[in-house]
Structure 1
Amino acid sequence: MMSQQEMSDRWEIQDLVFHYADLIDSKNFDGLREVFTGDAHVDYSAFGGSVGDLEETIAYLKQAVADEVFPNSQHLNANVQVALDGDRASGRVMCFNPMEMALPDGGTQVFLLGLWYVDEYRRTPAGWRIARREEEKSWVFNTPDFMQL
């Protein structure tokens, strides 16, 4: 049977995962400082994105996911799996990610990504934070012809 602390930790980590998705979809990239540790490592290379620390990641997202490139997106998270180990935890989170992309001809195209986040979490004085996040590619559907995913 789970202890109250374990249940609380799991819920806080799950809420952290969902808060990340909301920040990304609302393009509040500076808010990512609320969900990652200051020394976080973020690896978006599975889909051709950046690999680096938190500040490099925020700068990358501000450019790569700007409104004029991706007007709309949804990061729908499910199957949040968490393994707790004291003040550290690891996790694997499923993400279904529809993206609307602006096309060179002025139109838009919606494509879909299926991925997993492979995470490491750390309890900090401010609560649980993501210390490491790596995307793991599962599948892609309907990507624009000029994209190489």
Structure 2
Amino acid sequence: MTSRPDHFDISTLISLYFRTLDEREFPENWACAYFTDDVWTVTPIGTSQGIDAMWHTREAIERYARTQHMSSDVLVHTDAASGRTTASWNALMRHVHHGSTLQALGPDTQPVFTVGGVYRAELRRTPDGWRMAHMEVTAIWTTGTPPHLPSAPQPPTS
């Protein structure tokens, strides 16, 4: 069982992470506020390992003019025997295409791509608070025109 303060702290971490994505706040080392140095993630755009690989999240968000990520039903569980803490939550993610994307993809392109999904994470308590050590996103359903993904994500050129 997870304590109420821990559940609150983990739920807040998730909300702040989503808010950062939508506000496009990516200062240097932004991912350190949410993830461990050895984090690994599995998302619809690929797998990343290590805090320095989290640039792919920024790249994914910047493919859109605007986004809105909403989380709900956060469930947190700590296994007393192993001390392992996990969380899962539902997410609704709306992505508004750039005008240039709409123009390039043609008149049948829907301006909003929406994903309903589930996140799962393993968390660690660090001296700075809870951080996600593993995060996985599973898309359950989508509507609208999805992005055209590059064959392999490329790091930003700054």
Q: What range describes the TM-score normalised by the shorter chain of this pair? A: 0.7 to 0.9
Structural mapping, 1:8-23, within 5 Å: 8-23=5-20
Report if aligned partners of 1:37, 1:130 keep a CA contact under 8 Å in 2. yes
In the alignment, the residues of structure 2 paired with residue 104 and residue 139 of structure 1 have an alpha-carbon distance, to the nearest angstrom, of 22
Unpaired runs of 5+ in structure 1? none
- Name 1:42's counterpart in structure 2: 41
Q: Normalising to structure 2: TM-score of the pair?
A: 0.77
- Give the secondary-structure state (helix, strand or coil) at the position aligned to 1:71: strand
1:83 aligns with 2:90: no
Unpaired runs of 5+ in structure 2? 150-158
> Using a 3 Å threshold, how does the CA distance of structure 1 residues 98 and 104 change in structure 2: closer, same or farther?
closer
In the alignment, the residues of structure 1 paired with residue 18 and residue 61 of structure 2 have an alpha-carbon distance, to the nearest angstrom, of 13
The structure 1 residue matched to 2:125, chosen from 116, 123, 126, is 123
Q: Which moved more, 1:49-58 or 1:128-137?
A: 49-58
Structure 1 residue 104: deviation in Å?
4.5
- Give the secondary-structure state (helix, strand or coil) at the position aligned to 2:64: coil
Q: Normalising to structure 1: TM-score of the pair?
A: 0.82
Paired positions, count: 138
- Give the secondary-structure state (helix, strand or coil) at the position aligned to 2:24: coil
In the alignment, the residues of structure 2 paired with residue 104 and residue 8 of structure 1 have an alpha-carbon distance, to the nearest angstrom, of 45
1:94 aligns with 2:90: yes
